[in-house]
Amino acid sequence: MVRLAHNDLRSSMKRGTVMTHYRSTRLALTGLAAAAGLGLSACSSDDSATPASATPAPSIAPSTTAASPADVAKQKATAAYLDMWSDMAEAATTSDWQTPKLAQNATGEALQTISRSLYADHYNGLVTKGQPVNHPKPASVEPLDNPTSVTLTDCGDSTNWLKYRADNGQPANDGLSGRRQIEALVKKAVDGSWKVTTFAVHEVGSCTE
């Protein structure tokens, strides 16, 4: 796994809510049943009868509250972060440090770190098999009204994401694997996409969860 220093950010978040409301029509149905009964038995002095009527209560469509800009930013930043690790895991199966796919969800320092790590594995005749497991959580959003950056914290697990010798398929002795604390900064690009710009991976056992 790769290591580099990280940036701390602070902010808060707003959460959107979704509410639904339903109106019962039992009263209307009861009124219709009563009207039917009156039509069969009730009459006036001139032998004419007028059945009672009831109008069903109008139904009310469920109302929803749109997600806040902060919540939308968190969702998109988290998706970009998870996709970055997925792209890296795919490239690591052959240690392809040049694949354009790495730039889909990472840029700047983060992209350079991934590319250098894969190149080092390629140079040393190593490939990586399996998949990392990630559990990112938004830590901060800035600015809240129109977010352009989101900080994520993660407890990444590399237990089933291991390096092997490319020539004979034997496991490589590349250190411990397991759960590690990760921090990442994800920013909104000029085209509206979200990409990881930097991330820091700590030692095995650093997760506090």
Tens digit of pLDDT for each residue in 92-123?
A: 999 999 999 999 999 999 999 999 999 999 99
pTM check: above 0.75: no
| Phi and psi at residue 188, to the nearest 5° | -85, 125
Q: List the single range of 14-23, 56-65, 164-173, 199-208 with lowest mean pLDDT.
A: 14-23
Dihedral angle at the C-alpha atoms of 96, 98, 100, 104, nearest 10 degrees?
A: 80
pLDDT over 60 at 9, yes or no: no
Please state, as a whole number, how many other Cβ atoms lie within 10 Å of the Cβ of residue 127: 20
Give Cα 191 distance to the centre of its chain. 20
* 65 SS3 class: coil
β-strand 179-188 against 161-165: which pairing, if any? unpaired
- Tokens representing 84 are 């970055």
Q: Tell me the mean pLDDT in the region 52-69.
A: 66
Share of the chain above pLDDT 90, in %: 65
Give alpha helix (H) positions in 66-181: 69-92, 108-123
Average pLDDT score over the chain: 79
